[in-house]
């Protein structure tokens, strides 16, 4: 694991000013559905991957629930065309109305872009960040490109629940998914990365050792831009670990989270 110059745990973060229970960071009225909100303790907000539904991450949430509160909003639950600004404001509104003032955040794949946007906009509300197999900083994001050119090609990576989620999402929400994929392919989040670094937020990037969707070289570059640690996943059996290991191998994923010394998972 490489960790270039990141602040020590519990230091170097922007603390939140005292706030009333009714948070006002959002400007709109739309909220995301929150199908999974389980556990107790410090909150961990998980932003899911492209065309995945929160239920796909249930085993991970149940593994973490004895140690923290796990909240997984549905990033594609807004009707109509999807836009980054609209989804970010709806995410913020969702956290506002559920009283989640400061949170640890974890994002998989596509969710990394939205996580980066939230952290750069509201650094005072973020404790720490974990990015798993995501290129939140790339102009030409391979996953979105893959989804636009042949979306069913990604199902080869997935467990049966993930395949079901992918197909259901594209059948039920074709417009939000198409517009979200186009955003992922064309957007640039370089300025957001600079803002996260300037705020002193502790960040970590986890990477599958055989990610067949995204390049490890690009993941390392993303980690360097964030001044984040970079960890390549490994297992005692030495088996290959692919892009969707967060929900395919939740116990292994949590083992790697424990190595990051996260505040949200502290005893």
Residue 113: its pLDDT value, please?
86
Asked whether residue 9 is assigned to any structural domain, the reply reads no
Asked whether residue 17 is assigned to any structural domain, the reply reads no
| Sign (positive or negative) of CA dihedral 182, 190, 261, 124 | negative
Residue 101: its pLDDT value, please?
94
Whether the Cβ atoms of residue 83 and residue 75 lie closer than 8 Å to each other: no
Strands 36-38 and 69-72: antiparallel
Asked whether residue 156 is assigned to any structural domain, the reply reads yes
Asked whether residue 21 is assigned to any structural domain, the reply reads no
Asked whether residue 30 is assigned to any structural domain, the reply reads no
Q: Which domain holds residue 198?
A: 36-265
Asked whether residue 248 is assigned to any structural domain, the reply reads yes
Percent of the chain with pLDDT over 70: 69
Q: What is the pLDDT of residues 133-191, one digit of tens each?
A: 986 644 444 445 544 444 444 544 455 666 566 655 555 666 565 555 545 544 555 58
Number of DSSP helices (H) and strands (E) in the chain, helices first: 10, 7
CATH number (domain holding residue 62): 3.40.50.1820
Query: How many domains would you assign to the chain?
Result: 1
pLDDT at residue 90 above 50?
Answer: yes
Whether the Cβ atoms of residue 265 and residue 68 lie closer than 8 Å to each other: yes
* Residues 117-138, mean pLDDT to the nearest whole number: 88
Identify the CA nearest to 34 among candidates 98, 80, 88. 98
- Can you tell me whether residue 19 is helix, strand or coil? coil
Asked whether residue 112 is assigned to any structural domain, the reply reads yes
| Sign (positive or negative) of CA dihedral 49, 31, 42, 228 | positive
């Amino acid at each position: 694991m490489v960790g270039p110059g990141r602040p020590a745990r519990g230091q170097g973060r922007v603390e939140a000013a005292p706030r009333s229970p009714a948070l006002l960071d959002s400007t709109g009225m739309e909220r995301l559905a929150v199908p999974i909100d389980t556990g107790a303790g410090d909150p961990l907000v998980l932003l899911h991957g492209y065309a995945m539904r929160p239920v796909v991450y249930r085993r991970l949430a149940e593994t973490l629930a004895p140690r923290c509160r796990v909240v997984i909003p549905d990033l594609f639950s807004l009707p109509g065309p999807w836009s980054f600004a609209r989804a970010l404001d709806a995410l913020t509104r969702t956290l506002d109305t559920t009283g989640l003032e400061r949170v640890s955040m974890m994002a998989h794949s596509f969710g990394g872009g939205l996580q980066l946007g939230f952290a750069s906009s509201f650094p005072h509300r973020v404790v720490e960040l974990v990015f798993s197999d995501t290129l939140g900083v790339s102009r030409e994001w391979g996953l979105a490109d893959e989804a636009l050119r042949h979306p069913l090609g990604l199902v080869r990576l997935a467990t049966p629940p993930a395949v079901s989620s992918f197909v259901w999402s594209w059948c039920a929400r074709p417009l939000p998914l198409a517009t979200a994929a186009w955003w992922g392919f064309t957007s640039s989040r370089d300025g957001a990365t600079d803002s996260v670094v300037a705020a002193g937020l502790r960040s970590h990037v986890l990477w599958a050792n055989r990610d067949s969707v995204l390049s490890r070289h690009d993941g390392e570059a993303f980690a360097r831009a964030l001044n984040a640690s970079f960890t390549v996943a490994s297992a005692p059996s030495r088996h290959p670990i692919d892009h969707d290991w967060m929900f395919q191998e939740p116990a292994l994923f949590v083992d790697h989270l424990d190595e990051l010394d996260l505040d949200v998972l502290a005893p």
